[in-house]
Amino acid sequence: MDPNENSALFTFDGKPSLKNVAPLGLQHVVAMIVGCVTPALIVAGVAKLSPTDKVLLVQASLFFSGIATLIQIFPIGGVIGSRLPIIMGVSFAYVPTLTAIAGEFNIATIFGAQIVGGLVAILFGIFLKKLSRLFPPLITGTVILSIGLSLYPVAIKYIAGGAGSPDFGSPKNWAVAMITLAVVTFFNHFSKGTLKLASILIGMVVGYILSIFLGMVSFDAVREASMFQAPQFMHFGINFNTTAIVSMVIMYVVNSVQAIGDLSATTGGGLDRLPTDKELSHGIIGFGFTGIVSSFFGCMPTATYSQNVGIVTVNKVVNKWIFIFASFIVILTGLIPKFASILTTIPQCVLGGATISVFAVITMTGIKMIASSNLNMRNCAVIGLSVALGMGIVQVPDSLCLFPSWFISIFGKSSVVVTTLVAIILNLILPEDKSKNISTKTSENVNSDA
């Protein structure tokens, strides 16, 4: 590679050639595309959407994920967007809340709550310095841990064939799911480079091909889909519900905090510096703005993609044209219903086998963040009590049966909501514990005993 070409890749405003941009951009597409469409497929199943509406939901997810990325690269008015090399996409973190809302209300209620959540994210970005103090790594890690734990039942239901399916729990579903998971695990741990990044995609392809041979795939939706179609304005409608809004607002705040981490990792790993206050603030404002606009076209909440941040920190390639190329590829796929319809034919057992590893990574990310904090008695109480209440209430559906319906909708459907609120409150009211880290004290006791 020409030295000038090489240096251009490592500067945001450089001008590399297309032959160098294309493979690096496709690498980002491969890393994000499965995670982008799977939440839409999961929510569509819970909301019992028709095959046509499911295709539209997947289309919107792809199209507006590309738009959200472009807004981060080219800020609107210099304020809406971070102007950093970041990939945006529909986030798994919202899935527990989205499925709870879709199951109790309808998909229009998701988009109504999303509008308010986006507005709150914009306010969070504006008042970032003051609000971010409520979310130290201890709290953010606890919330992410609860998100991962709450996603496990979703994955198991999909592995078994999808709740309500006539063959739910069949050995065939489990066999396909476990083969898919085995392929994902193999490529994730025994390969490098693009193969490692594409491990989930490769696993889904293998599981999908196996499902075709087993007669588990119907291509009726593909035959009926057109070659070109833009996302439709207000196709799913907008409905505002207070309980859904409360849940979504909490998730938007949590993901705003996660965005701070991803933006910081991007500048630290790719640009060798800390992000400026404006970059963080404008990035979160852009994240909220995209959520508002995309809700009118049927795209669920987007967020920064940590797996793509990982690519930047490894290869140090931060040139904006790489991310522009990736964005246009994702936007193009969102305009082709034939492509989106193929994705909707993926059996649920394949989705479950592929995504349970993603949910495990989310859980472990939370644990790593928690471990970075001092695990004294106080902090352990914050973590333990918040997760115990959050997970416990949801796992015992009748525990709030005599409460008002609005209360049940807010606190009885999503463990993430309860965990977040309890963790914040406990962190504010419990006195600071000056004792040493538990693991350190235990080690000292062992040494003294010896």
- Tens of pLDDT along 311-340? 787 678 889 999 999 999 999 988 988 888
Pairwise CA distance, residues 436 & 442, whole Å: 10
What is the pLDDT confidence band of residue 192, given thresholds at 50, 70 and 90? confident
Higher pLDDT, 3 or 373: 373
pLDDT of residue 436: 52
Q: Which two tokens stand for residue 231?
A: 């996302």
The mean pLDDT value for 132-144 works out to 83
Percent of the chain with pLDDT over 90: 34
Pairwise CA distance, residues 297 & 57, whole Å: 9
The pLDDT of residue 3 is above 70: no
Q: Which of 162-176, 286-300, 345-359 tops mean pLDDT? A: 286-300
Please name the residues in contact with 346: beta carbons below 8 A apart, sequence gap of 6 or more: 41, 204, 208, 211, 217
Residue 376 lies in a domain: no
pLDDT of residue 194: 66
Question: In this structure, what are the phi and psi dihedrals at residue 237, rounded to the nearest 5 degrees?
Answer: 80, 175
What is the pLDDT confidence band of residue 345, given thresholds at 50, 70 and 90? confident
Return the minimum-mean-pLDDT range out of 86-100, 110-124, 403-417. Answer: 403-417
Percent of the chain with pLDDT over 70: 94
Residue 158 lies in a domain: yes
pLDDT of residue 63: 95
The mean pLDDT value for 112-130 works out to 93
Residue 89 lies in a domain: yes
Whether the Cβ atoms of residue 139 and residue 169 lie closer than 8 Å to each other: no
Please report the sign of the dihedral spanned by the C-alpha atoms of residue 345, residue 346, residue 349, residue 352: negative
pLDDT of residue 255: 85
What does pLDDT average to over the chain?
85
- Structural domain containing residue 159: 3-362
Residue 401 lies in a domain: no
pLDDT of residue 444: 44
The mean pLDDT value for 120-149 works out to 86
Interval 24-65: pLDDT, tens: 888 788 778 877 888 998 899 889 898 889 989 989 999 999
pLDDT of residue 6: 63
Total count of domains within the chain? 1
Q: Which of 193-202, 294-303, 391-400, 417-426 tops mean pLDDT? A: 294-303
pLDDT of residue 368: 85
Burial group, residue 151, by CB count within 10 angstroms (0-12, 13-18, 19+): buried
Q: Which two tokens stand for residue 47?
A: 């909301």
Q: How many CB atoms lie within 10 A of CB 131?
A: 16
Higher pLDDT, 359 or 211: 211
The pLDDT of residue 73 is above 70: yes
The pLDDT of residue 223 is above 60: yes
The mean pLDDT value for 113-125 works out to 95
pLDDT of residue 80: 95
The mean pLDDT value for 169-184 works out to 92
Higher pLDDT, 315 or 9: 9
Q: How many CB atoms lie within 10 A of CB 136?
A: 15
Return the minimum-mean-pLDDT range out of 215-229, 385-399, 434-448. Answer: 434-448
Pairwise CA distance, residues 289 & 252, whole Å: 12
What is the pLDDT confidence band of residue 439, given thresholds at 50, 70 and 90? very low
pLDDT of residue 5: 58
What is the pLDDT confidence band of residue 98, given thresholds at 50, 70 and 90? very high
Higher pLDDT, 449 or 79: 79
What is the pLDDT confidence band of residue 191, given thresholds at 50, 70 and 90? confident
What is the pLDDT confidence band of residue 443, given thresholds at 50, 70 and 90? very low
pLDDT of residue 450: 40
Residue 116 lies in a domain: yes
The mean pLDDT value for 385-399 works out to 89
Residue 47 lies in a domain: yes
User: What is the identity of the amino acid at 379?
Assistant: N
Residue 392 lies in a domain: no
Pairwise CA distance, residues 414 & 411, whole Å: 7
Q: Which two tokens stand for residue 97?
A: 């809340």
pLDDT of residue 180: 92
Interval 259-293: pLDDT, tens: 887 888 888 878 888 788 899 999 999 999 999 99
Residue 393 lies in a domain: no
